[in-house]
Amino acid sequence: MRILRALGRHGEAGTLIDRVAALPAGTAEDDEALGFAAFEAGAHRRSRDWYARVVEASPGDALAWYNLAAGEQTIGQLDAAEAACDQALRHAPAMVEAALLRSQLRTQTADRNHVDMLRAMLKQASAPGATVFLHYALGKEYDDLGDYDAAFGHFSGGARARRQALDYDVSDDGAKLRRIIESFDARRFECAPELTAPAYGFIVGLPRSGTTMIERILTGSPRARSNGETDNLFGALGEGAAAAGADVFERVAHADPARVLASYVRRAGTPDTGSVVLEKLPFNYLYVGAIRLTMPCARTLLVNRAPADNLFAMFSTLFGSAYPFSYALGDLAAYYLAYIKLLDHWRAMPGSQLLEVAYEDVVGEPEVHGRMIAGHMGVEWDDMMVRIERNTQTSATASAAQIRRPIYRTAAGRWRNYERHLAPLIDALEAAGVDPARARGARQE
């Protein structure tokens, strides 16, 4: 499966997963390996089932319970996920990954939370990596309980420990974004192809900007399916670019459109007639220009959110290996300012492939803005598409728990609870002329 995916043959990898699932059961070790491979491939229901078999064979295996909890979360079984986390922690009381996941699965309340247990775990933990998980778990629970000073103390403690473990300089990312702007100058778009009917769609924006919510709205239609967050586009651009010559940014800017599109179709799959295949990797905002030059049958949707809300949501989230700029307020401000310069460059691009939408507008009037989004992406609209809590699609994103609820407005303006703690970030944004409380392109009140 891994080899097929590395070759960009994702459809064949999916078929192989289905074939293996039909075979007689193997050992617990086989099921664990298959569960992991299926999770990586985005076959989350298959993954969950294999992990459930591991737990059945090895009920005292804490890691198996944690893997099952992650699988239950992706398919929306949040109560089952919490119960599996409880089992993992019963067998391994110091498993900080299970403690963090459990905190994220629901809104904690005064009479039902894990604060005391988490504080005891933090007191006993010595490894910096373990304290990171516990700080983020405590930050989440204190935020739910409305103790924002305590929450920020833990978010910042976790972020500080995570940042210290990284070899990262935000100026390097700023230089890369400037290089993209230079490589995709105005002359490159003079020969951009004419747009055709949408067959593919890219939902982009900073993490925690609302991209997953938009994805759920669109996949509420039977004529839209999403591959989730994959490297399909990056791989296709790599295949279409020259192997040698200028730097990678220049090579991608001159990628062969026919080769890129053929590679992307192979990786993403061919949509049925009248249907659209979506991709929701936030980082694809780096490639908006490349999409315009190589994929005339694609549309791009850029999701904006009030900067202070968006950046604080990132700061209060423990990501994997991505988004290293999210663990310090100064890095967040510096990256955001470079990011909006890139967006300004894409806005000046000719053609109508890019549509921008503000998160706050969508949660305020879901049907109105959902209809506009669907029209741009080539998806037939139905008002029931905004009932995202009824969407049974799987999700492995940082918003996997939130999207199981109806669309809500309470996350808008959340940064106000932390305003005095966020002063350095807010000051940096305002000094650059950025309104921290207003999403770019949001409608006027």
101, 131, 155 — which closes off a domain? Answer: 101
pTM of the predicted model, to two decimals?
0.91
Signed CA dihedral, 311, 315, 321, 325: sign only: positive
Tell whether 263 and 349 lie within a shared domain. Answer: yes
User: How much is the average pLDDT of 330-334?
Assistant: 98
Q: Which of 79, 92, 89 is nearest to 114 (CA)?
A: 89
Return d(Cα 211, Cα 188) in angstroms, integer: 28
Is 131 part of any domain? yes
Where does residue 321 rank: exposed (0-12), middle (13-18), buried (19+ CB within 10 A)? exposed
Q: So what's the pLDDT on residue 11?
A: 67
Q: What percent of the chain has pLDDT over 90?
A: 77
Is 433 part of any domain? no
Signed CA dihedral, 110, 112, 118, 120: sign only: positive
pLDDT tens readout for residues 174-183: 999 999 999 9
Is 427 part of any domain? no
Q: What is the CA radius of gyration of the chain?
A: 22
pLDDT at position 32 over 80:
yes
What amino acid is encoded at 129 in this protein?
G
Helices 62-74 and 78-91, axial angle in degrees (round to 10): 170
Is 96 part of any domain? yes
Is 429 part of any domain? no
Tell whether 79 and 115 lie within a shared domain. Answer: no
pLDDT at position 257 over 60:
yes
* Strand residues in 140-236 grouped as ranges (E): 200-204, 224-226
Q: So what's the pLDDT on residue 30?
A: 79
Tell whether 57 and 196 lie within a shared domain. Answer: no
- The number of domains in the chain is 3
Q: So what's the pLDDT on residue 411?
A: 84
Task: Between 4 and 350, name the one with better pLDDT.
Answer: 350
pLDDT tens readout for residues 337-388: 999 999 999 998 877 799 999 999 999 999 999 999 999 999 999 999 999 8
Return d(Cα 242, Cα 239) in angstroms, integer: 8
What amino acid is encoded at 78 in this protein?
L
Tell whether 88 and 130 lie within a shared domain. Answer: no
Tell whether 286 and 386 lie within a shared domain. Answer: yes
pLDDT band at 236 (very low <50, low <70, confident <90, very high): very high
Q: So what's the pLDDT on residue 398?
A: 61
pLDDT at position 48 over 60:
yes
pLDDT tens readout for residues 149-181: 999 999 999 999 999 999 999 999 999 999 999
What amino acid is encoded at 84 in this protein?
A
165, 188, 212 — which closes off a domain? Answer: 165
Domain housing 128: 107-165
* Strand residues in 51-166 grouped as ranges (E): none
pLDDT at position 445 over 60:
no
pLDDT tens readout for residues 91-125: 999 999 999 999 999 999 999 999 999 999 999 99
Is 424 part of any domain? no
What amino acid is encoded at 201 in this protein?
G
Q: What percent of the chain has pLDDT over 70?
A: 93
Is 439 part of any domain? no
Q: Which of 354, 355, 382 is nearest to 370 (CA)?
A: 382
Query: Which letter does DSSP use for residue 9 in this model?
Result: -
Any residues with CB less than 8 A from the CB of 439 and at least 6 apart, and which? 304, 305, 306, 307, 358, 359, 360, 361
pLDDT tens readout for residues 194-216: 999 999 999 999 999 999 999 99
Task: Between 19 and 98, name the one with better pLDDT.
Answer: 98
> Encoding tokens for residue 16?
């192989």
pLDDT band at 44 (very low <50, low <70, confident <90, very high): confident
Q: SS3 helix, strand, coil % of the chain, rounded to 5?
A: 60, 5, 35
Is 10 part of any domain? yes
Strand partners, 226: 278
Q: So what's the pLDDT on residue 444?
A: 58
Tell whether 392 and 282 lie within a shared domain. Answer: yes
What amino acid is encoded at 415 in this protein?
W
Mean pLDDT over each residue of the chain, to the nearest integer: 92
Where does residue 116 rank: exposed (0-12), middle (13-18), buried (19+ CB within 10 A)? exposed
